[in-house]
Amino acid sequence: MNRRELLSLLRSTDPAVVSELTEEAGRVRDQSVGKAVYLRGLVEFSSYCRRGCTYCGINCANSRITRYRMTDAEILGCAEAIQSYAIGTVVLQSGEDSFFTGPKMATIISAIKERTGIAITLSLGERPAADLKLWREAGADRYLLRFETSDQKLFSKIHPPATIPLPGRIEQLQLLRELGYEVGSGIMTGFPGQTCASATDDLLLFQSLDLDMIGIGPYVPHPGTPMADEIGDITSDDQLPNTLATAYKIVALTRILCPSINMPCTTALRTIDPAGYREGLKAGCNVIMPNVTPLDYSERYDIYPGKKRVAQFEQALDLVEKDVTDAGCFVASGAGASRHYRERSGR
Ligand code: SF4
């Protein structure tokens, strides 16, 4: 598909376009990576962040939330629990928290690797190159860093620059690849100011970055964040709608354009649609990340409101399994590196 065709699909309001694209994406997923769905246990270990992203509830200016940091032992305990449920990957996620220095994170990573052997995915934001290298050497396998939008002017508006020198997001994605990580990125869809034209460029950027994993998260407004307050001021004539149909359309187009990647059903998708796992899988996703963070912490990881969570992890897994089966797929065991990564890295 060329740029003009993609743009026309994104601007279309015809519901048939969404169903045709999701059906096609499901077929592409089946042919390219099969019906296996891999689980990753998500651990949100710190809600401290030095950045001021205008859409995010844990941005540094939000003084109305109670922040937390999990201890090393608590993080390790979560990784062991993940292993005990036969889930092959832990995803360690936090704000950009300088308390977790390069060496401190490296100690946690090597302890998890030593005790469990499971794959480790990091989602820790923009970090110095030396830290990324250290963590890879300590045993980290994957890194997630969404570029959110390819429109640099818009990105600077929603993601004010850091006060310390850091590699830019695209530069960091390239660096992660050179360091041998399996590299994931993604975007937010439907936020104020994002146009259909810029979302088309996002899809093309996915292709040119040659990513291994891509996550699509619909914008969930968080009351009290600068973006939620400004909403009327910054929309445009070509505004990308903040609708489920748009989110699924972009998920489907991503799978069609990048057939051999891994694609998670994002937490944001599940937040705005109770059937988000099932429908995301039907639209081409093949990864689900059940949340393993202790409930009293997870409730305070307030990046956006309305995150869905059941108290008992076993019950959450049963629900995931049902969604997976209802989507015509099956839960697979193991680390589940993407086919794209295996082929490009020869692993
Ligand atoms: S989006 Fe990430 S970097 Fe930005 S404020 Fe939220 S946690 Fe921090």
Find out whether the beta carbon of 57 lies less than 6 Å from any atom of ligand 1: no
First vs last C-alpha separation in the chain: 30
Instruction: Give the mean pLDDT of the chain.
Output: 94
Query: What six digits make up the tokens of 169?
Result: 């997001």
Which ligand 1 atom is at minimum distance from the Cα of 126?
Answer: 3
Find out whether the beta carbon of 144 lies less than 6 Å from any atom of ligand 1: no
CA dihedral 253, 153, 303, 320 (to 10 degrees): 10
Q: Which of 91-100, 211-220, 295-304 is predicted with the least confidence, judged by mean pLDDT?
A: 295-304
Find out whether the beta carbon of 56 lies less than 6 Å from any atom of ligand 1: yes
Structure confidence at residue 12 as a pLDDT band (50, 70, 90): very high
Distance CA 61, CA 93 (A): 20
Q: Give pLDDT, residue 235.
A: 62
Q: Roughly what angle, to the nearest 10 degrees, separates helices 3-11 and 244-257?
A: 160
Strand order in the sheet with 119-123: 41-46, 89-94, 119-123, 142-144, 182-189, 213-218
Which residue has better confidence, 24 or 161? 24
Find out whether the beta carbon of 119 lies less than 6 Å from any atom of ligand 1: no
Distance CA 328, CA 80 (A): 30
The residue-averaged pLDDT of 98-108 equals: 97
- In the reported structure, the alpha carbon of residue 94 is separated from the centroid of ligand 1 by a whole-number distance in angstroms of 8
Are residues 92 and 124 in contact, defined by beta-carbon separation less than 8 angstroms?
A: yes
Are residues 98 and 164 in contact, defined by beta-carbon separation less than 8 angstroms?
A: no
- The answer, yes or no, to whether residue 233 has pLDDT greater than 70, is no
- The answer, yes or no, to whether residue 232 has pLDDT greater than 70, is no
- In the reported structure, the alpha carbon of residue 160 is separated from the centroid of ligand 1 by a whole-number distance in angstroms of 10
Domains of the chain in start order, with CATH, are: 3-338 (3.20.20.70)
**3-state SS class at 69:** strand
Q: Which of 42, 44, 45, 59 to mutate to test the pocket of ligand 1 (most atoms within 8 A of CB)?
A: 59
Q: Whose CA is nearest to atom 4 of ligand 1?
A: 53
Which ligand 1 atom is at minimum distance from the Cα of 125?
Answer: 3
- In the reported structure, the alpha carbon of residue 159 is separated from the centroid of ligand 1 by a whole-number distance in angstroms of 8
Structure confidence at residue 309 as a pLDDT band (50, 70, 90): confident
Structure confidence at residue 239 as a pLDDT band (50, 70, 90): very high
DSSP letter string over 171-223? Answer: HHHHHHHHTT-EEEEEEEES-TT-BHHHHHHHHHHHHHHT-SEEEEEE----T
Which ligand 1 atom is at minimum distance from the Cα of 94?
Answer: 7
